[in-house]
Structure 1
Amino acid sequence: MPDSPPRPIPNARVSARAIYQTIRRDGEEEMARPMGSLWWSGVAAGIAISTSVIAEGLLHTHLPDSPWREPLQAFGYCVGFVLVVLGRMQLFTENTITAVLPLMARTNRQALMCIARLWSVVLIANLLGTLVAATFTDIIGFATADQLAAFHEVSRPLLEKGWLETLLHGIPAGFFVAAMVWMLPNARGSEIWVIVITTYMIAIGGFAHVVVGSMEAFLLVLAGEVALGDALWNCLVPAFIGNVLGGTVLFSLLAYGQVRQEID
């Protein structure tokens, strides 16, 4: 009687090679999706990620003015990422690793066009989603005056940084999101903690995330505190560049480098 195949070891960690192959396969599937599916998933992600700013603002209104108010309200920043990641919605900064790993394995013109299509559709859809959320919050007015003031208060640090500082602060944000994507296959029931820990680091560090930052920017634009052009150029463009550098150039290259000699 032939020997039965070995059973998998419970709770054994997934190897780096297996993680790479999982993320690479996810990236290939995402790039093959119809444009309409990517678009509506991206809009939904933009609306959902806006709850990070809403949750931060709501915590701000309920916490006393004390030295520990900011570290506690920063947990609100994690809410939108939990909704987006566990809801499998299209978030641009996740795609800085999922779409890039297939490109590193097979660099050609078609792969470059696919990633350009994916990034452009998802990013524009994300920004439209945050604009819808900001408009609903400010103009339609679901929030009370105190809550709206709190949303503006937690968003104002966005305007305090210079162009280069925002770019530099976008690098660790992109790195942490890519690290979150890389760790999720090993989470196995602890996914929410992986998401919370990595995104809390973005919040507590004051790092710049282009999509969450767009919700903050649109709220301040609608409040008349900054011009739209200034918000786009001084806040979102450098955050975008920093997120790409941190997620793609830094983390993805490191992730690919450690398995390059082990994959086909």
Structure 2
Amino acid sequence: MKTETKKQEKFQKDLEKKSKEIDGVSEYRDILSRVIHEGEEIFKINSKALTLSAVIAGLEIGFSYFLLCTLYYLLSGKVEETTIFKLLSVVYPVGFIMVILGKSALFTEQTSVLTLPVLNGQRTIWELLRIWGFVVLGNVVGGILFTLFIGFLAPHLSLFTHETMVSIGSHVIHYDAWVLFLSAIVAGWLMGLLNWLLNSTLNSLTRIFLIFMITGVIGFGGFHHSIVGNIEVFGAFLHSETITFLDYLWFLVLALLGNAIGGAIVVGLFKYRIFESNYAN
């Protein structure tokens, strides 16, 4: 009897273990399927609409920059500068929440999403680069427009000064090129992971928390996000005598390339290969 009981207990444990494995495979497959579907839907958007959505995202992400400058100006001279830059991570996620929940086209949020239909054989690499081009162009243009607008308005409202804009931008680009590039890979990696996590839940509060958590890590770590960084460095270029237009362009190229690698390869490619290697069968 004892032997039979032990066999039954072992069979039950094996069954439960197998059931959990099946559930895990199913859940992973469901998330991957949702991400691929989301990417495919983006590919179907016409160029004009996509570019406009990207411009809006560039404008909306500017509210993160607005809060960064305002908080920096408020705390400057009262709190040590190193501490201020860490505290800025509290307001850094606001623009991301607006953009992501509002479904505007943000380059770094879509890098891994758009890569997966390519890996799945549904789209070509040229279609991917074309979509990235429209989104990046729109994000950069939107960011520049916001910088020009807020840079004119903020001093009149005593929110912050042009010197604040220079301080923020100078802090972003004072690193060596290789540090900036690797930092941008980390930021792209985190943004790609964010999209994966967002596709695991439909609860609005959970989604807000995930956006706040991931982008807060980017802000706290000072990792380089190309689209927010575009606004930060362009704002500094406008009012600095030492930051040149070439400095701005060099930053933008490194940050965009690093973000693309972090999102497309570290998240998109690896997540797909994990599924292909372990779960496809």
The TM-score, its normalising length taken from structure 2, stands at 0.83
Shift of 1:117: 1.3
Corresponding position: 1:26 with 2:42: no
Aligned match of 1:244 in 235, 260, 263?
260
Please report how far the alpha carbon of residue 91 of structure 1 lies from its aligned counterpart in structure 2 after TM superposition: 0.5
Identity %: 27
Q: Which amino acid letter does the alignment assign opposite residue 228 of structure 1?
A: F
Deviation of 1:217 (Å):
1.3
Assess if the C-alpha contact under 8 Å between 1:45 and 1:89 holds in 2: yes
Is the Cα–Cα contact under 8 Å of residues 53 and 154 in structure 1 kept in the other structure?
A: no
Corresponding residue for residue 179 of structure 2: 165
Q: Secondary structure in 2 aligned to 1:141?
A: helix
Structure 2 counterpart of 1:175, from 181, 189, 208: 189
Please tell me whether the aligned partners of residues 56 and 75 of structure 1 are also in contact (alpha carbons under 8 angstroms).
no
2:144 to 114, 119, 131: 131
1:105 and 2:117 are equivalent in the alignment: no
CA deviation profile, 1:163-215 (whole Å, cap 9, x unmatched): 11110110110000000000012233210110011001111111111111100
Partners of 2:142 and 2:231 in 1: CA distance? 9
Aligned to 1:76: 91
2:73 to 39, 49, 61: 61
How far has the Cα of 1:133 moved from its partner?
0.6
> 1:245 offset after TM fit, Å?
1.4
Whether the aligned pair in 2 keeps the contact of 1:43 and 1:129 (CA below 8 Å) is yes
Name the CA distance, whole Å, in 2 between partners of 1:208 and 1:198: 13
Matched, 1:253 2:269: yes
174-183 or 188-197, which moves further after superposition?
Answer: 188-197
Q: How does 1:100-249 map to 2 (within 5 A)?
A: 100-106=115-121, 111-138=124-151, 140-143=152-155, 144=157, 147-148=160-161, 149-189=163-203, 190-225=206-241, 226-233=243-250, 235-249=251-265
Cα deviation per residue 1:30-80 (whole Å; 9 max; x = unaligned)? 011110110100000001111111111222233341464333222111111
d(CA) in 2 for partners of 1:23 and 1:100? 10
Aligned to 2:52: 40
Residue identity opposite 2:174 in structure 1: E
Of Structure 1 and Structure 2, the greater helix share is in 2
Residue 156 of structure 1 deviates from its aligned partner by 1.8
Q: What is the number of residues matched between the two proteins?
A: 249
Identify the range of structure 1 (141-150 vs 211-220) with the bigger mean alpha-carbon deviation: 141-150
- Following superposition, the deviation at residue 258 of structure 1 comes to 2.1
* Distance across 2 between alignment mates of 1:33 and 1:60: 39
TM (norm. structure 1) is 0.88
Within 1, Cα distance between the matches of 2:49 and 2:98?
Answer: 18
In structure 2, runs of 5+ residues without a counterpart are 1-22
Unaligned runs of at least 5 residues, structure 1: 1-11
Aligned residue identity for 2:275: V
Per-residue deviation, residues 196-240 of structure 1 (Å, max 9, x unmatched): 11001111111111111100111011113411122111x111111
CA RMSD of aligned residues (A): 2.0
CA contact (8 A) 1:43 1:128 kept: yes
Shift of 1:145: 5.4
Shift, 1:146, TM fit: 5.7
- Please state whether the residue corresponding to 2:198 is helix, strand or coil: helix
Q: Distance in 1 between matches of 2:186 and 2:201?
A: 21
Give the CA deviation at 1:23: 0.8
The structure with the larger Rg is 2
